[in-house]
Chains A and B, each alone.
Chain A
Amino acid sequence: DGGITQSPKYLFRKEGQNVTLSCEQNLNHDAMYWYRQDPGQGLRLIYYSQIVNDFQKGDIAEGYSVSREKKESFPLTVTSAQKNPTAFYLCASSITGTSGSGEQFFGPGTRLTVL
């Protein structure tokens, strides 16, 4: 069953703690992305990776870190330096290059709440 999965679905964190959100895909996509979604706002890009062992900052990377050790996995760590981490986090993946569909496929999301 192909797709992109995220875990956990809900996550609660105390202030000052780091937490890691999981994202896995079996679509054989080279590119993976992390977005943050806040009420009334669009999706804002945190980090993206177009190939294993390489990633770039998006528009709101401060307070976040990522790794891309495997093609299938792109975990996001929300560090204590992120001032307002409560949000809905979405992971996505896509093929790279200009041929074929440019669609990004989204995971079901993780809702992070800081207590």
Chain B
Amino acid sequence: GENVEQHPSTLSVQEGDSAVIKCTYSDSASNYFPWYKQELGKRPQLIIDIRSNVGEKKDQRIAVTLNKTAKHFSLHITETQPEDSAVYFCAASNRNTGNQFYFGTGTSLTVIP
């Protein structure tokens, strides 16, 4: 089955700096890669996603890049703000065979004011 690894497990940045979280996956058939943000005690919420036919996607301060050859994808947050502090999870799925997500173990991001 699919195996998703995520790094780093914790990340601290100064407000205004950029944050980068990286994930690798093992199954070359995976074709959908969402990123979720989870605040303490809350439900995970989708912040950005990318399909395998696209190399990069941006939404304001958030971007995701995908390298299918190397089987890795990354989340980039620019101009970080204290409200960006949360746990971020990457996931991979194969939408051709159902939509089961395989999650990374999460990155706890702290933005220091």
Contact = CB atoms under 8 A, between A and B. Distances in A.
Please determine whether chains A and B interact with each other in the same assembly: yes
Interface of A: 31, 33, 35, 40-45, 48, 50, 58-59, 90, 94, 96-98, 101-104, 106-109
B100 interface: yes
Contacts of A40: 9, 105-106
Given A45-B102, A97-B95, 12 more contacts: A33-B101, A41-B106, A45-B101, A59-B1, A94-B99, A98-B96, A102-B32, A102-B51, A102-B95, A103-B34, A103-B46, A107-B43
A96 B93 CA distance: 12
- Per DSSP, chain A at the interface is loop
Interface of B: 1, 4, 6, 9, 32, 34, 42-46, 49, 51, 89, 93, 95-96, 98-106
Contacts of A101: 49
Contacts of A59: 1
Closest 5 pairs (CB-CB, A-B):
A42-B103, A106-B43, A42-B105, A43-B103, A102-B32
B93 to A, nearest CB: 7
B29 to A, nearest CB: 13
B108 to A, nearest CB: 9
B43 A50 contact: no
Contacts of A35: 103
Contacts of B51: 102
Contacts of A44: 103
Contacts of B44: 43, 90, 106
B95 to A, nearest CB: 5
Given A102-B93, A103-B46, A107-B43, A42 B34 contact: no
A45 B43 contact: no
B89 A42 contact: yes
A40 B106 CA distance: 7
